[in-house]
Structure 1
Amino acid sequence: MRLYIKYLSIHLKSQMEYRTSFLLMSVGQFFIPFMVFGSLYFMFQRFGELQGWSFFEVALCFAVIHLAFSLSECFARGFDSFSSLVAGGDFDRLLVRPRSTALQVLGSKFEFTRIGRLLQSVIVLVWSVSNLPQIWSLPKLLTLLLMIANGTIIFTGIFILAATFCFWTIQAIEVANVFTDGGREMAQYPLNIYEKWVTRFFTFVIPFGCVSYVPLMYVLDKREGSMFFPMVITFGGVLFLIPCLLIWRFGVRHYRSTGS
Structure 2
Amino acid sequence: MRLFGKYLWILFKAQMQYRASFWLLSFGQFFIPFSVFAGLYFLFERFGQIRGWEFFEVALVFGVIHMAFAIAECLARGFDMFSGLVVSGEFDRLLVRPRSTVLQVLGSKFEFTRIGRLLQSLIVLVWAVAQVEAHWTLMKAATLLFMIVSGTMIFAGIFILMAAMCFWTVQGLEVSSIFTDGGREMAQYPLNIYQKWVTRFFTYVIPFGCVNYLPLQYILDRSEGPGFLYMLMPLAGCLFLVPCLLFWQFGVRRYRSTGS
TM-score range for the pair, normalised by the shorter chain length: over 0.9
Structure 2: distance between partners of 1:123 and 1:41 = 14
In the other structure, the counterpart of 2:65 is 65
Match of 2:196 in 1: 196
Letter in 2 for 1:244: C
Q: Which residue of 1 aligns with 2:246?
A: 246
The separation in 2 between residues aligned to 1:132 and 1:32, in whole angstroms, is: 24
Letter in 2 for 1:15: Q
Counterpart for residue 109 of structure 2:
109
The alpha-carbon deviation at position 228 of structure 1 amounts to: 1.2
Moved over 4 A (4+): none
The normalised TM-score by structure 2 is 0.99
The residue number in structure 2 matching 1:124 is 124
Measured in 2, the distance between the counterparts of 1:6 and 1:233 equals 33
Q: For structure 2, which runs of at least 5 residues remain unmatched after alignment?
A: none
The residue number in structure 2 matching 1:7 is: 7
| 8 A contact 1:129–1:135 mirrored in 2 | no
Give 1:171's aligned residue: 171
Aligned to 2:56: 56
Q: Per-residue deviation at 1:232?
A: 1.4
Return the offset for 1:51.
0.4
Alpha-carbon distance between aligned partners in 1 of 2:198 and 2:136, rounded to the nearest angstrom: 31
Cα distance between partner residues in 2 of 1:230 and 1:37: 27
Cα offset for 1:133? 4.3
Contact map agreement 2:56 2:131 (CA 8 A) in 1: yes
CA shift at 1:196, angstroms? 0.6
Alpha-carbon distance in 1 for matches of 2:73, 2:233: 23
**Deviation at residue 127 of structure 1 after TM alignment:** 0.4
Q: How does 1:1-260 map to 2 (within 5 A)?
A: 1-260=1-260
After superposition, give the CA deviation of every residue in 1:80-129 in whole Å (9 maximum; x if it has no partner).
00000000000000000001001100111000000000000000000000
C-alpha distance in 2 between matches for 1:61 and 1:132: 11
Counterpart secondary structure, 1:174: coil
For residues 203 and 81 of structure 1, the distance between their equivalents in structure 2, rounded to whole angstroms, comes to: 27
TM-superposed deviation, 1:225: 2.7
| Structure 1 letter corresponding to 2:5 | I
CA contact (8 A) 2:59 2:128 kept: yes
Superposed CA deviations along residues 1-53 of structure 1, whole A, max 9, x for unmatched, are 11111101111111111111110000000011111101100000000001000
% identical aligned pairs:
69
Q: CA deviation at 1:132?
A: 1.8
Q: Structure 1 stretches of 5 or more lacking a match? A: none
1:224 offset after TM fit, Å?
3.0
Question: Aligned pair count?
Answer: 260
The AA in structure 1 aligned to 2:106 is L
How far does residue 185 in structure 1 lie from its aligned partner after superposition?
0.3
Do 1:135 and 1:141's aligned partners in 2 also have CA atoms closer than 8 Å?
A: no
Which has the higher mean CA deviation after the structures are superposed, 175-184 or 221-230? 221-230
Give the Å deviation of 1:136: 2.2
Deviations 1:133-179 (A, max 9, x none): 41521110110000000000000000000000101111100111100
**Aligned equivalents of 1:181 and 1:104: distance in 2?**
25
Give RMSD over aligned pairs.
0.8
CA deviation profile, 1:176-229 (whole Å, cap 9, x unmatched): 110000000000000000011110100000000111111111011121332111
Aligned-partner SS, 1:249: helix
CA distance in 2, matches of 1:189, 1:235: 20
SS in structure 1 of the partner of residue 134 of structure 2: helix
What is the SS of the residue equivalent to 2:207?
A: coil
